[in-house]
Structure 1
Amino acid sequence: MPDGRVCQVAALAYRLKKKRPEILLITSRGTGRWVLPKGWPQIGRTFAQSAQREAYEEAGVRGDVAPFSIGTYTYEKHDMCEGECGDFVVDVYPLRFSHQEKNWPERGERRLEWVALEECILRVEEPGLKVLIAGFNPDKITIG
């Protein structure tokens, strides 16, 4: 990124429960904070496909991903190697949940919880992510 921030991608995995969206939150491995599944863009995949892959690797979640980001948020990471800290900008891609695999690469390393939008906003720490979640409307998402 031109401003020195490192780009990551995140999956906003959602499902409808009684016509109301629920968002999948997972805990980060380092600090145990509630976050979206996120990681690095992968060579040979679009950002959306990379976000979809992170949802599987970190939470076992499968589903259809929207091709366009619903926005970005920023955060600082302080638990990097040798005391370094980094500034990250994260592109967020909605992923419509279809099912969860029985096994996945990071199973047992994180807690997972489906929560209502209001609860999700309370749990995540990044102000920009709170805004994205508050404005999330699955009826306005085009997938595929």
Structure 2
Amino acid sequence: MIGRWLRSLRAFLRPPPKVQAAALCLRANAARKSGENEVLLIRSLDSGRWIIPKGWPVKGESLARSAAIEAWEEAGVTGRIGDEAIGWIRYDKRLKGGLEEPCEAHVFVLTVEDEARDYPEAGFRTRRWFSPERAAEKVDEADLADLIRRFGV
């Protein structure tokens, strides 16, 4: 009884999530006759987990445009970004000093048209293309895995 009450109190006191913009980067897999897309994942800077490009909204830009900017900065890809979010992922962002901040990243599909060798975070990030099923297995967030499975095909 007390444990349930403490969980309720913790949820009540938790601040609302901060909004972020994220890009689910897709490209056609020309080697496969099925036409299945490939999904681009990058390594996070802190833990090395496989993630999609995401970050804080850019002042004066829409969330969709902010997601496209993050895809360029973190993964070196450009292309056509969807106008509408396909969903969102909730997670706790680790801040400096060990604190965590709840975030809700709105995810937009970016159809990749160009992939650069040189981009702002090229020296810090690893990027790799995966089949949708393999990408869904690589990410830690269940809601992100679901979005990849639904929209990565």
Could you say which residue in structure 1 is the equivalent of 2:3?
A: none
Letter in 1 for 2:144: L
Contiguous gaps of at least 5 residues in structure 2: 1-14
Could you say which residue in structure 2 is the equivalent of 1:86?
A: 101
Within 5 Å, which residues of 2 pair with 1:82-121?
82-121=97-136
Deviation at residue 77 of structure 1 after TM alignment: 2.4
Letter in 2 for 1:66: G
Partner secondary structure for residue 47 of structure 2: coil
Residues 77-109 of structure 1 deviation map (CA, whole Å, 9 limit, x = unaligned) = 23x122211111110000001011231111120
Letter in 1 for 2:128: E
Q: 1:7 to 1:16 in 2, by over 3 A?
A: same
**In structure 1, C-alpha distance between the alignment counterparts of 2:133 and 2:112, rounded to whole Å:** 19
RMSD, aligned CA: 1.2
- Among 8, 16, 27, which residue is 2:43 paired with? 27
1:53 maps onto 2:65 in alignment: no
Q: 1:137 to 1:22 in 2, by over 3 A?
A: closer
Deviation at residue 137 of structure 1 after TM alignment: 5.3
Contiguous gaps of at least 5 residues in structure 1: 139-144
- Among 131, 138, 141, which residue is 2:146 paired with? 131
Could you say which residue in structure 2 is the equivalent of 1:36?
A: 52
Could you say which residue in structure 2 is the equivalent of 1:68?
A: 84
Q: 1:136 to 1:38 in 2, by over 3 A?
A: same
**In structure 1, C-alpha distance between the alignment counterparts of 2:110 and 2:73, rounded to whole Å:** 14
Q: Which runs of 4+ in 1 moved over 2 A?
A: none
Within 5 Å, which residues of 2 pair with 1:2-13?
4-13=16-25
**In structure 2, C-alpha distance between the alignment counterparts of 1:134 and 1:73, rounded to whole Å:** 14
**96-105 or 31-40: which moved more?**
96-105
Residues 55-92 of structure 1 deviation map (CA, whole Å, 9 limit, x = unaligned) = 000011010100100001111123x1222111111100
